[in-house]
Structures are given as C-alpha cells and as structure tokens.
C-alpha cells in the first residue's frame, strides 16, 4: 500500500506519535533532539527560508558533510516547498559551478571546508561579487540565479547569511505562513534533486517527488524491520540517496533515531555504534572493510547491532560473511538501485539465507515491477538469462532537470526505467547484477562517468586525445584509468597531469592510473574499443587478481 503524503506531514505525524523519542543524535557533538524538538527546529528553519522570499519549487543547494544543519534543512525545505539540491562534498570549482548553474539554484548552504578543500574560497572564485554585496542581494555574472548564500559556521562572511541569521528570522516569521505553504504542497511535487552521472557525460539532476522517496524509505525500513525502538547509525553521506532516503527518511518513517556520523571515519563509527547502542549500521563495502580491520575492532562491544544495509557497489562475499559473523549484524540486508529509482529497486530480507544475501541483490520491493530484457530487441527474457534490468512503479524519477531528451532515453513510453545494468533473475525472483551496459565506473560507491573526466582532461593544452575506463580494484571495486595521447612535439608527465587535476575535479575522479599511448584499439568502423583498453591495462598493470573476488 503506497502512501500519498509529503515529507513535512510525515515528520509531523511521527512527532505526534513519538514526541519524546530521540529523533536525532550527534554523539560527536553531544547533540540530541526528541521528535517534538526536531519538529520545532525544522518548522523554525522552514520559516527562515520563507523569510528569504523563497518560493515553492525553488532550488536550494546544500554543500556540506553530515552536519546537523543538513538534516534540519532536509525537512525544513520539504515543509516550505523548496527543492533540496544535494551537492557532493568532493566537488571542486568546475563541478560546483556546473551544478549550481544547471540546477538554477537560488540559494546555497555551505560549510567552510572538507578534506583540506576550502568551500568558501571556491564559491568566492566563482562569485567574486560576494565580497561587495549584502546578504541575499547576490548578483553573480557566472551564476545568474543565485541570490542567497548561507554559511553553516560561526564567523561572519562577506555577502553571506549565517545559519543563526536564518534561525533568528524564523523566530520572527509568522507560523501561519509556514502552515499555509506546507498545506499547499502536493505529494507528487518534486522535493529533492540529486546529481548523477548516467548515459551522457555531465551529471544530470534527478528530480524526485515526496511520493518517490517517502515510499522508498518506507519499503527500505520494512526490509530491515525497523521500528521506533531502532537506532540507525548513518556514516554514508547525506548527499546520496543512501544517506537522505534510506537513512534519515527511513528513520522518520518509522520513528527510529537517526545517529549520523559527520564524516566517515572507522574509529568514529565504532565509537558511535558502541556508545549509542545502535541497532542498525549502513555503509558501502569499503566502509565495513575499514571498520572490520580497525585495530580497536576486537575490543568493541557491538552486540546491539541487528540489521543495516550494505549497498553502493558490489558486495564481496567474504566481507558480507565477516559482517554477519564478526560484527554480529545477523539481519544485514543488501540493497540495489540507482538515484533514478529513488533509489532502491531490490533488497534482501532478514529471513533470506546467507547464501542469498551474499550472492544476490534480493528481490523487488513490494509495489515495484522489475523485468530483464534483451537490450537489442526489448523482449522480456526468462529466468537465468542475462539482460538489462528495467523497473516500473512509484519509484521512477520525475525526470532529469531541464533535460527532456536525456529523460526520454532512460524512461520509455510505457514508464519503464532502463537502468543500464546487466542482470539475471532466478525462478524465485532474486536478482544478480552481472555487469553494465554503460561504461560508468563505480569507485567505492561513487558513480563516475568517463566522459566527464575526458572532457576535463581535454582542456589540458598538451592533451590530444583521452579515453577513460574503469579497472578492477580490491578495495574500491574500481579505479579510474586515463589513456592519454599527447599532442605532437609536446611532452607530458603523469605528475604534471595529476597536478592539473588537483583542486579542479573531485579527488575520486582523478585518475588512479595514467597511461600514455600512441593509438587506441579500434573497430573496423573506427570506433574505439574501450573494453580492449581495459583488458590491456589489466594485463599491463597486473590487476587480474584485483577483480578476482565474487560479488552479488
């Protein structure tokens, strides 16, 4: 049974049912909100956003780690009808400018820095006008839609509001206006936008409605058997659906406590789980590996853990077994999907055998259709035959923001979302992901589209041509390899190229391997054979063992 409810109304409903239960716990900061307190803070922040003149459907971008302001903003914007645009914390100037311009965001919330990258310096580089303008009055040559920049810090910054300014404005703003705006929202309205790489080069804004993500959160919670007694440790980033749908929204849908980790660190995760007696733990495989291998792991009391989700990239069988046996997460589930499907399509259940939980990605959620088709003919295929996985139902995105042609390439006229992933289905309805039609690279849960890196590397004055492929890696699943042709008469070193990338594109997109080549393997018709580049590189770099472990 699907629910037709907005995110704001869902929070109000849960706060009414469980007013005194803990909603948000930041162990690192000693911060705790009950559901009634969290509801009040979100209402105040919603009024603050309204006081800035932000209209229903306006895009509000947030560029931050899992800080408390992030989760408050998620529910506050949902209450006043602003569309939350999530920004990857690893983005650099090039990517940030693209996202803000393409999304037509009118407001940006940001922290000061992350991993030695100054967000303040980067936004000032794009918008030097900030130094001269009053807060809320930005007129940027490069970002014509951006008006408000809100700094999630304590020190006053030129041209920016502080978060406390927003909250103070929220005190003064009439709550009747907030109530009226919240009542005017429709469950089918777009309320969340996440940028993802897909079938064409640059990231596209995936438009998700209340119905999309509320119902997906409910289904994800059901598969873990979450309820109001659970405490969910969320070390995965909020800017992905894993964090802000499967994590925060699934918790609110059930009355469970959200226990976020501000930025992933295995020791901090273990500290938080142990101190807060978390019952559920989320992560991509590399996170679980880091936790299992941490020097303090043998001394930890993780006996409170019962369930959780491992997702984001293929889950190695041995890692899954260790999570069950060593961490004691007996009901751990595997989830599969993509941003365009809100995000989960299939998930294992706690009563599935360990064999099913380590060799498949589970079966379809209730209310979701899944089929395997022949990519060439579109015909449905029988069990056991590999083809492209397609899905249909409430979970399919509204489309890509301002990209109707790209939307039409992935959602067909019958409403089926074509994932681009190759899979098989067994006679019991369990799926195995076997490969990808598209050449997207998935590194440690991050989707990387080769063309985006190629387009950037083309801007180097000495690069004649570049082809980017993924090569196997035991830790991250895949790494980025760039095969470079240098312009005649020029010399280029690996160090020079890496220095060119530093600070301009996200670190996870910077090639791990660089090969200088004179030509590429080609088909008779002149098309470059990327699969051969990959095969040659695996042999040359001695990576055949890296991909030698089995996954679901």
Q: What CATH number has the domain bearing residue 127?
A: 3.40.50.980
Domain end (from 155, 185, 215):
185
| Inside any domain, residue 265 | no
Residue 552: the pLDDT is 38
- The rounded distance, in Å, linking the Cα atoms of 217 and 344 is 9
Domain with residue 448: its CATH number is: 3.30.300.30
Quick check: is 92 in a domain? Answer: yes
Residue 463 lies in a domain: yes
As a whole number of angstroms, the distance between CA 377 and CA 136 comes to: 53
**CB under 8 Å to 328, separation ≥6 — which residues?**
302, 303, 305
Contact residues for 20 (Cβ-Cβ < 8 A; gap 6+)? 34, 35, 36
Beta bridge partners of 483: 467, 515
Residue 523 CA to residue 453 CA, distance in Å, equals 23
Residue 421 host element (H or E): strand 417-425
Distance between CA atoms of residues 385 and 426, nearest Å: 9
Contact predicate 60/107, CB 8 Å: yes
**Token reading at 82:** 């602003």
Helix (H) or strand (E) holding 211: helix 210-224
Q: Are 309 and 246 in contact (CB under 8 A)?
A: yes
Confirm if 374 and 387 have CB atoms less than 8 A apart: yes
Three-class SS state of 324: helix
**Residue 101: which residues within 8 A CB-CB, separation 6 or more?**
142, 143, 145
- Residue finishing a domain among 125, 158, 185: 185
Give the pTM: 0.86
Distance of CA 263 to the CA centre of its chain: 14
Q: Which of 127, 155, 185 finishes a domain?
A: 185
As for how many domains the chain has, the answer is 2
Residue 135 lies in a domain: yes
Nearest to 371 by CA among 360, 382, 361: 382
> Is 106 a member of any domain?
yes
User: Which tokens is 524 given?
Assistant: 């008779």
| CA gap 274, 547 in Å, rounded | 33
Domain presence at residue 499: yes
Environment class of 535 (CB within 10 Å of its CB; exposed 0-12, middle 13-18, buried 19+): middle
CA 119 to each of CA 110, 173, 195, 244: distance values in angstroms, whole numbers, following the listed order: 7, 30, 18, 21
State the pLDDT at residue 376. Answer: 82
Q: Which of 399, 379, 398 shows the shortest CA–CA distance to 390?
A: 379
| Any domain includes 45 | yes
| Nearest to 260, CA basis, from 111, 70, 66, 23 | 66
Which secondary structure element, helix H or strand E, spans residue 204, and what is its range? strand 204-209
**Residue 260 falls inside a structural domain:** no
Residue pLDDT tens, the chain, 552 long:
899 999 999 999 999 999 999 999 999 999 999 999 999 999 999 999 999 999 999 999 999 999 999 999 999 999 999 999 999 998 999 999 999 999 999 999 999 999 999 999 999 999 999 999 999 999 999 999 999 999 999 999 999 999 999 999 999 999 999 999 999 999 999 999 999 864 345 789 999 999 999 999 999 999 999 999 999 999 999 999 999 999 999 999 999 999 999 999 999 999 999 999 999 999 988 899 899 999 999 999 999 999 999 987 777 777 888 999 999 999 999 999 999 999 999 999 999 988 898 889 999 999 999 999 998 899 999 999 989 999 999 999 999 999 999 999 999 999 999 999 889 999 999 999 877 776 778 888 887 878 789 889 988 999 988 899 999 998 898 999 999 999 989 999 999 999 999 999 999 999 999 999 999 887 554 567 787 898 899 999 988 766 533 333
The parent domain of residue 179 ranges over 19-185
Q: Which pLDDT score is estimated for 446?
A: 86
């Amino acid at each position: 049974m699907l629910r037709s409810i907005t995110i704001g109304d869902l929070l109000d409903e849960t706060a009414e049912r469980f007013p005194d239960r803990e909603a948000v716990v930041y162990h690192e900061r000693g911060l705790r909100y009950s559901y009634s307190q969290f509801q009040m803070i979100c209402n105040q922040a919603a009024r603050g956003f309204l006081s800035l003149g932000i209209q229903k459907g306006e895009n509000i971008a947030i560029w931050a780690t899992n800080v408390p302001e992030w989760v408050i903003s998620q529910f506050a914007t949902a209450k006043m009808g602003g569309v939350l645009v999530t920004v990857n914390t690893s983005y650099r100037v090039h990517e940030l400018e693209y996202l803000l311009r393409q999304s037509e965001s009118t407001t940006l919330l940001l922290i000061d820095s992350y991993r030695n990258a100054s967000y303040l310096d980067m936004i000032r580089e794009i918008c030097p006008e900030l130094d001269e303008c009053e807060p809320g009055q930005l007129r940027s040559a490069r970002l014509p839609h951006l008006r408000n920049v809100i700094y999630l810090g304590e020190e006053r910054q030129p041209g920016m509001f502080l978060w406390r300014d927003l909250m103070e404005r929220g005190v003064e703003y009439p709550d009747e206006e907030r109530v009226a705006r919240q009542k005017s929202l429709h469950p089918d309205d777009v309320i969340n936008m996440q940028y993802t790489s897909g079938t064409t080069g640059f990231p596209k804004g995936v438009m998700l409605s209340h119905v999309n993500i509320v119902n997906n959160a409910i289904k994800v919670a059901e598969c873990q058997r979450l309820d109001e007694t659970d405490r969910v440790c969320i070390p995965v980033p909020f800017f992905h659906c894993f964090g802000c749908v499967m994590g925060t929204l699934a918790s609110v849908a059930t009355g469970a406590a959200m226990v976020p980790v501000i930025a992933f660190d295995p020791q901090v995760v273990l500290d938080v789980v142990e101190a807060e007696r978390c019952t559920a733990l989320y992560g991509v495989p590399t996170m679980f590996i880091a936790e299992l291998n941490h020097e303090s792991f043998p001394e930890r009391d993780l006996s409170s853990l019962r369930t959780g989700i491992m997702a984001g990239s293929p889950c190695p069988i041995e890692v899954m077994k260790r999570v069950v046996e060593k961490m004691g997460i007996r009901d751990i589930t595997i989830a599969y999907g993509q941003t365009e499907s809100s995000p989960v399509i299939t998930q294992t259940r706690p009563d599935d055998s360990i064999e099913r939980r380590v060799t498949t990605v589970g079966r379809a959620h209730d209310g979701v259709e899944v089929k395997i088709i022949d990519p060439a003919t579109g015909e449905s295929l029988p069990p056991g035959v590999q083809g492209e996985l397609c899905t249909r139902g409430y979970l399919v995105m509204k489309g890509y923001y301002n990209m109707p042609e790209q939307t039409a390439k992935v959602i067909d006229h019958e409403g089926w979302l074509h994932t681009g992933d190759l899979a098989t289905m067994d006679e019991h309805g369990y799926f195995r992901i076997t490969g990808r039609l598209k050449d997207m690279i998935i590194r440690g849960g991050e989707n990387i589209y080769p063309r985006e890196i190629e387009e950037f590397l083309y801007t180097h004055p000495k690069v004649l041509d570049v082809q980017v492929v993924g090569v196997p890696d035991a830790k991250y699943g895949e790494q980025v390899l760039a095969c470079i042709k240098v312009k005649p008469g020029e010399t280029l070193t690996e160090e020079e190229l890496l220095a060119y990338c530093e600070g301009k594109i996200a670190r996870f997109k910077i090639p791990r391997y660089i090969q200088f080549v004179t030509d590429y393997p080609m088909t008779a018709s002149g098309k470059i054979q990327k699969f051969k580049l990959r095969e040659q590189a695996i042999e040359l770099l001695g990576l055949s063992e890296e991909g030698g472990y089995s996954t679901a």
